[in-house]
Chains A and B, each alone.
Chain A
């Protein structure tokens, strides 16, 4: 799992530029499903036959990032944000473009951190002129955080664990599942960070009976943290509510019962901010019951997100248990 997480998080794939992540997952899953398709938006759908009920699992491939909006005469790049990203998280960080170009984020002179806005930041790719910069980067090019994977033993740190850890859980579950009791539509979605866009169109095409997103969630277990019940290492989190979704009661019941029956450590999750693909899935067509299996994660939307491998393993087991349970709703 560590190896899979390391390889997945090292790929740059901000919203709208998920192609490299998709190619990686396609190669991983070729031998583990009945059909692999890519839809108009770029969602990857791995289908595995198993039963009457249609289960859609969704993990998003995209990560937060930056997009070049202008190149000035000196060769500095101005940029806009992709997804929820704060200026102070960006300052002095390194970013990597899809063609491998690396830049560092600098700021105009400010007297107070409060003045640090996106407009005051720029990317320096070491170019000395606009002409030189344009040989490496064009307006509209997209970059992601450039940060190494760190193995801390039981816990790992990387950029883009939101939501490559969800992708890893779904990949691993598809490899492990031996007797699926439902038709499985494992969707690796695009453009979640900019508004749950891929999941919306994927769900419209699949029209599942149940949708389950796999995503990260915040924790309340760090110094002076916001009051959240979720803790790293306490198991997979079964979502009750976030901004996009109130989990269908039967889905919550299904997931918690399966966790109990299989001795899988779990915790309940109420998140007062954020949303996931499940929010888009539930509002598809005439409505689809939806829920989320979350992996608690510290330092969300930073270059150093942290998860606990016990929670990852618990999430894999819960997904496999759901796949192998004949679901009726």
Chain B
């Protein structure tokens, strides 16, 4: 299963190689040209003999994780977060360290040895370490180097009623959407960008968009679903199972209203369920793409995901399927009617 394989690959920001190779192998036969740019973005072109507006589709390959920043005398690894992680979710998680995927456990002071105040406060990364079972520093150095990236060790798979759980669904689900779209034929010059280092500052997309300079960009993301307690209904942002989420604004971008209207109209005509992302927080690659060169119109379509940026997230498989359908219908609409902006 594509989603399961994508989710279980390691791709903490700057270490996206495994994801890039996986995607490249599977889409190579479906593209006119494929390139890896100098920052590591994988860019697949489907533009041979195509006329019309140039559309860029982007999804980021990287995920949040940790980095080894030191090894202490007892062989325990000091760590720092890469990307925005809630430090409270880290304790006692199983992880895999470095390119050789050395198993480890995130440890902390046991409850018996904690002071009362310590028990009441979440542990910061500075109080956490990764234990790879090494006896001392030189033993640890046989398997691990400072700078090695650490990903969560999580088995992905479908569960419940049409749901799917796994790590890194932000944004492997976006990668999966793009790979699904690559199966189709469009009468438009398209560029599929699988980008790097989104989680640490939208870095890959910044240079990919400058290089491609498209007429329109579509960012495919996973976004937080807050349909859980204690959030009130109006604070949910998105809801699992209610279809792809269309963004109107976040911290990084204000989407052109004409684009939003067209997306909503296309969804309604095709009978595809959709929701608006009812929040203005967070940022996506749309922000940097929008401000590239003389400005590039951009929209964001997201698959809602519970427990985003944690070791395990949950999405609805139907939301995923409907996201592919919505973007497919939108591209068909551009084929027919041109750009809405």
Kindly list chain A residues whose C-beta atoms are within 8 Å of the C-beta of B279.
Answer: 69, 80
Asked whether, in the complex, the Cβ of B276 is within 8 Å of the Cβ of A197, the reply is no
Asked whether, in the complex, the Cβ of A67 is within 8 Å of the Cβ of B249, the reply is yes
Nearest chain A residue, comparing its CB with the CB of B292: A201
Kindly list chain B residues whose C-beta atoms are within 8 Å of the C-beta of A96.
Answer: none
Asked whether, in the complex, the Cβ of B234 is within 8 Å of the Cβ of A140, the reply is no
Asked whether, in the complex, the Cβ of B276 is within 8 Å of the Cβ of A40, the reply is no
Asked whether, in the complex, the Cβ of B233 is within 8 Å of the Cβ of A67, the reply is no
Asked whether, in the complex, the Cβ of B278 is within 8 Å of the Cβ of A139, the reply is yes
Contact of A72 among B234, B254, B281 (CB under 8 A): B234
Nearest chain A residue, comparing its CB with the CB of B341: A40
- Report Cα–Cα, A155/B43, bound state, in Å: 57
Q: How would you classify the secondary structure of chain A's contact residues: helix, strand, loop or mixed?
A: mixed
Interface string of A14-43 (1 = CB under 8 A from B): 011100000000000000000000011100
Kindly list chain A residues whose C-beta atoms are within 8 Å of the C-beta of B234.
Answer: 69-70, 72, 78
Is B92 part of the binding interface, using a Cβ–Cβ cutoff of 8 Å? no
* Segment with Cβ contacts to A, from B150-158, B161-169, B187-195, B293-301: B293-301
Q: Name the interface residues of B31-52: CB closer than 8 Å to any CB of A.
A: none
> Of residues B290, B292, B295, which shows the largest number of chain A Cβ atoms within 10 Å of its Cβ?
B295
Is B260 part of the binding interface, using a Cβ–Cβ cutoff of 8 Å? yes
- Report Cα–Cα, A16/B249, bound state, in Å: 9
Kindly list chain B residues whose C-beta atoms are within 8 Å of the C-beta of A81.
Answer: 280
Kindly list chain A residues whose C-beta atoms are within 8 Å of the C-beta of B256.
Answer: 16
Nearest chain A residue, comparing its CB with the CB of B279: A69
Q: Name the interface residues of B265-287: CB closer than 8 Å to any CB of A.
A: 276, 278-281
| Nearest chain B CB to A32 CB, angstrom units | 24
Q: How would you classify the secondary structure of chain B's contact residues: helix, strand, loop or mixed?
A: loop
Is A119 part of the binding interface, using a Cβ–Cβ cutoff of 8 Å? yes
Is A299 part of the binding interface, using a Cβ–Cβ cutoff of 8 Å? no
Is A205 part of the binding interface, using a Cβ–Cβ cutoff of 8 Å? yes
Contact of A70 among B278, B295, B296, B297 (CB under 8 A): B278
A201-B293 contact given A69-B280, A140-B248, CB 8 Å threshold: yes
Is A194 part of the binding interface, using a Cβ–Cβ cutoff of 8 Å? yes
Kindly list chain A residues whose C-beta atoms are within 8 Å of the C-beta of B233.
Answer: 70, 72
Q: Name the interface residues of B219-262: CB closer than 8 Å to any CB of A.
A: 233-235, 248-249, 254-257, 260
- Report Cα–Cα, A41/B257, bound state, in Å: 12
Kindly list chain B residues whose C-beta atoms are within 8 Å of the C-beta of A140.
Answer: 248-249, 257, 260, 276
Is B291 part of the binding interface, using a Cβ–Cβ cutoff of 8 Å? yes
Kindly list chain A residues whose C-beta atoms are within 8 Å of the C-beta of B276.
Answer: 139-140
Asked whether, in the complex, the Cβ of A200 is within 8 Å of the Cβ of B291, the reply is yes
Interface string of A112-125 (1 = CB under 8 A from B): 00000001000000
A39-B295 contact given A15-B254, A16-B254, A72-B233, CB 8 Å threshold: yes
Size band of the interface chain A makes with B: 20 to 34
| Nearest chain A CB to B251 CB, angstrom units | 8
Asked whether, in the complex, the Cβ of A40 is within 8 Å of the Cβ of B254, the reply is no
Is A191 part of the binding interface, using a Cβ–Cβ cutoff of 8 Å? yes
- Report Cα–Cα, A72/B233, bound state, in Å: 8
> Of residues B280, B281, B290, B297, which shows the largest number of chain A Cβ atoms within 10 Å of its Cβ?
B280
A40-B291 contact given A80-B249, A140-B248, CB 8 Å threshold: no
Contact of A191 among B254, B292, B297 (CB under 8 A): B254
- Report Cα–Cα, A165/B303, bound state, in Å: 43
Asked whether, in the complex, the Cβ of B280 is within 8 Å of the Cβ of A205, the reply is no
Kindly list chain B residues whose C-beta atoms are within 8 Å of the C-beta of A191.
Answer: 254
Asked whether, in the complex, the Cβ of A40 is within 8 Å of the Cβ of B297, the reply is yes
Nearest chain B residue, comparing its CB with the CB of A119: B235
- Report Cα–Cα, A17/B279, bound state, in Å: 18
- Report Cα–Cα, A70/B294, bound state, in Å: 33
- Report Cα–Cα, A110/B213, bound state, in Å: 49
Asked whether, in the complex, the Cβ of A40 is within 8 Å of the Cβ of B278, the reply is no
Kindly list chain B residues whose C-beta atoms are within 8 Å of the C-beta of A40.
Answer: 294-297, 341
Asked whether, in the complex, the Cβ of B280 is within 8 Å of the Cβ of A67, the reply is yes
| Nearest chain A CB to B244 CB, angstrom units | 15
Kindly list chain A residues whose C-beta atoms are within 8 Å of the C-beta of B290.
Answer: 41, 197
- Report Cα–Cα, A202/B294, bound state, in Å: 6
Nearest chain B residue, comparing its CB with the CB of A73: B233
| Nearest chain B CB to A164 CB, angstrom units | 19
| Nearest chain B CB to A190 CB, angstrom units | 9
- Report Cα–Cα, A205/B249, bound state, in Å: 24
| Nearest chain A CB to B280 CB, angstrom units | 3
- Report Cα–Cα, A81/B281, bound state, in Å: 10
Measured CB to CB, the residues of A under 8 A from B are 15-17, 39-41, 67, 69-70, 72, 78, 80-82, 119, 139-140, 191, 194, 197, 200-202, 204-205
Measured CB to CB, the residues of B under 8 A from A are 233-235, 248-249, 254-257, 260, 276, 278-281, 290-297, 341
Sample 30 A-B pairs with CB under 8 A, ordered by A number.
Answer: A16-B255, A16-B256, A16-B257, A40-B294, A40-B295, A40-B297, A41-B294, A69-B278, A69-B280, A70-B278, A72-B233, A72-B234, A80-B279, A80-B280, A80-B281, A82-B249, A140-B248, A140-B257, A140-B260, A140-B276, A191-B254, A194-B254, A197-B291, A200-B291, A201-B292, A201-B294, A202-B294, A204-B293, A204-B294, A205-B295
Given contacts A16-B257, A201-B294, 9 further A-B contacts (CB under 8 A): A69-B234, A82-B254, A191-B254, A194-B254, A197-B291, A201-B291, A201-B292, A205-B294, A205-B295
3 closest pairs, A vs B, by CB? A80-B280, A16-B254, A140-B248
